[in-house]
Amino acid sequence: MSTAATNGPSVADRLSAAGTANALELRGVTRMFGALAALSDITLSIRPGERRGVLGSNGAGKTTLFNCITGDFLATSGTIRFFGEDVTAFPAYERIRRGLRRTYQISLLFAGLSVLDNVYLACRGVSRNRFSLLRPRRNDALMSSAEDLVAAVHLSDVKDDKVATLAHGQQRQLEIALALAGAPRFILFDEPAAGLSPTERSELVEILTSLPSHMGYIIIEHDMDVALRVVDYVSMMHNGRIFKEGTPQEIENDPEVQELYLGGAHA
Ligand SMILES: Nc1ncnc2c1ncn2[C@@H]1O[C@H](COP(=O)(O)OP(=O)(O)O)[C@@H](O)[C@H]1O
Ligand SMILES: [Mg+2]
């Protein structure tokens, strides 16, 4: 992209406004930790509304990929565009402001608060009035958004319960509601099915497939049964690189993937 001064919006801004830019566009993204390349030359395009699975063994670089996309870590080299805008050097909060969200492998919930209050605080945190000193009223617009999000993750029955009393699966559902606060454009889910029972996994699949269709995501998931049911396309990672991409069907039937990922080591 030219850095010369121009009149009017840049090409990227116009593409973005016209809705033709990719939701995410990574070019040659590398992330070093000392001498270790946790990510090597990752190039990845995701269309608006697309749902992508990222699969790979432990240490493949999946979470580092998320950290570079969100800005929790900066890429060592390469570029990252979010809806056409170059966000490579942006801090995490600037990316959040533009509609990017994530969930973490480790939970960040307020255990002593109710389900609804956790979601309410997340909605308040990403709203324009977050610094308002007025005491929030129970009937304000944010509270009604919070109620909607609680319903979207199937927790209405327990909305007044304290988080500490929830089952593990319900806590993970609540984390999804927090990521949905403020109507994001794109979400990164880091192993949302980890530690879930089969019933909880089905519920997760239902929640993910019921998200509004314009809302794209990347899901990192060890459980192929979950991952392949909730994505349009899959990227396979190994040693910091993407080594294969395909539809869920292609990935499931691929002999190399079966050997590496579904073989003896995969319990
Ligand atoms: N903050 C960090 N400091 C040093 N090394 C890291 C850090 N985060 C990840 N790594 C290393 O980068 C590689 C990829 O890790 P990670 O992205 O967590 O893989 P995955 O999520 O696929 O299991 C691993 O070798 C890991 O030890
Ligand atoms: Mg990880």
Nearest CA to ligand 1 atom 9: 64
pLDDT digits (tens, 9 = 90+) for 96-149: 999 999 987 666 789 999 999 999 999 988 776 655 666 655 558 899 999 999
Number of Cβ atoms within 10 Å of the Cβ of 217: 25
DSSP alpha helix (H) spans, 56-197: 62-70, 92-97, 115-125, 141-152, 168-180
Ligand 1 pocket (Cβ < 6 Å) reads 33, 36, 38, 56, 58-64
Mutate to test the pocket of ligand 1, among 40, 64, 102 (most ligand atoms within 8 A of CB): 64
Instruction: Tell me what the pLDDT averaged over the chain comes to.
Output: 88
Degrees (nearest 5) of the Cα angle 160, 163, 166?
Answer: 95
pLDDT given for residue 12 in this prediction: 59
Which atom of ligand 1 sits closest to the CA of residue 190?
A: 21
Dihedral sign (CA 148, 154, 156, 160): negative
